[in-house]
Each structure stands twice: as C-alpha cells, then as structure tokens.
Amino acid sequence: MLIYALAVPSLLLMARGSTARRDPLTDKEADLVREAQALDKRTEVFIKAAERRVLVITDPNAGASGQAQKDAEKWGDLNGTRAELLSDIANILEEAITNIEDAGSHNAKSQLIPKSIRKLAGAATRFLPALIALRDGANDEERGALEKAIENAQEIVTAANRLPTETNETEKKKKAKGAN
C-alpha cells in the first residue's frame, strides 16, 4: 500500500500542458481505449498507440509493411508531422498515466495498478533509446515535444522502479492470508 502512495503521486508531478492540442489518438484508437474496461488492457492500447508513432518516426519504411496496413485498419491511419507525432507520444504517455492515477483514486489496492505501471514502464524503457537518438536531428519545432516525451517516459520508469518487486507483493499476500 505504501508503494502506491509513493508511485502514483510521483506520476501526478508530471507537468501537464494547458494549451489546446490535437487529439493524440486516432478515432479508432480512442474507441479501443473506451472498449478496454480493465486498466491493464487500456494501458496496452495506449502502449500500442505510442509504439506505432515511435515506429513511424524511427523507421521511414514502416508504413509500407503488411503489419502497418493491418494496424491501420484496426487502429486508424497515422497522420501528422514528425513534431505532431512526437507530441502525440508525449500526450499518449500522459493519458496512460492519468488512467492509472484515476484507477488508483478509486481503488488504490487494485492489483491492476502495479501491473499497468510495469507494462507502461516496460514500453517506456523500449521507447527511450529511440527517442533519445532523435535529439541530434530534431529541429526547433520538434525539440519541445521530443523532450516532453523523453521526460514522461523517464518519469514512468522512475515510478515503476519504486514499486515493490512482484515477488515481494506475492509473499505479502501469502503472509496476509496465513494470518487470517
């Protein structure tokens, strides 16, 4: 319980933009988020949405693959400049965090919270090298969005590192059951 008190509020410290912005999700992605009722499944949708943008930005040939075509059918077409896609990544990570925070405010003991944080951190860990590699080639328009995406990913990883190991959580549950 204490770890949630440490991890979830640290996610709250992330700066939130107050200016109007484009929707970071395609209409189909937004539908998939709404359909995913379980927090961990919703988190997976956010991860896939961010992954798609990272791939488009880092691999110019990604859009021509058969998988990209299948993804476009289910997830929607990705449009936008490189700066907009970088901003989308930052905003998608923020939306995933907000979903986890909201779930924590309703049920802080939910086992889906640490599971979702770990999934999101795993994705953020994969995104970071690709995002950091973009720093040298980023223009002024892209730089702010890129830095925000990197900052969000790093904060997610930091929050996940504050969670107890899964083994410790399992042992605590067993001890608690044995005491009853």
Categorize the per-residue pLDDT at 44 as very low, low, confident or very high, splitting at 50, 70 and 90.
very high
Q: Is the pLDDT of residue 22 over 90?
A: no
Token pair for residue 100? 């986890």
User: Can you tell me which residue has the tokens 């379980």?
Assistant: 38
| Contact of 82 with 142, CB cutoff 8 Å | yes
Ordered DSSP codes for 5-47: HHHHHHHHTS----S----SS-HHHHHHHHH--SHHHHHHHHH
Q: Which class for 92: exposed (0-12), middle (13-18), buried (19 or more C-beta within 10 A)? A: buried
Identify the pLDDT of residue 77. Answer: 92
Least Cα distance to 131 among 109, 110, 156 occurs for 156
Least Cα distance to 81 among 69, 89, 92 occurs for 89
Per-domain boundaries in the chain = 23-179
User: Can you tell me which residue has the tokens 């937004």?
Assistant: 30
Integer Cα distance of 96 and 118 in angstroms: 12
Q: Which class for 109: exposed (0-12), middle (13-18), buried (19 or more C-beta within 10 A)? A: exposed
The CA-based angle 137-139-145, given to 5 degrees, is 100
Across 6-10, 65-69, 151-155, 174-178, least confident range: 6-10
Identify the pLDDT of residue 115. Answer: 95
| List of residues 6+ apart from 9 with CB closer than 8 A | none
Q: Is the pLDDT of residue 39 over 90?
A: yes
Token pair for residue 20? 């109007």
Across 56-70, 87-101, 111-125, 144-158, least confident range: 56-70
Mean pLDDT, residues 59-68: 78
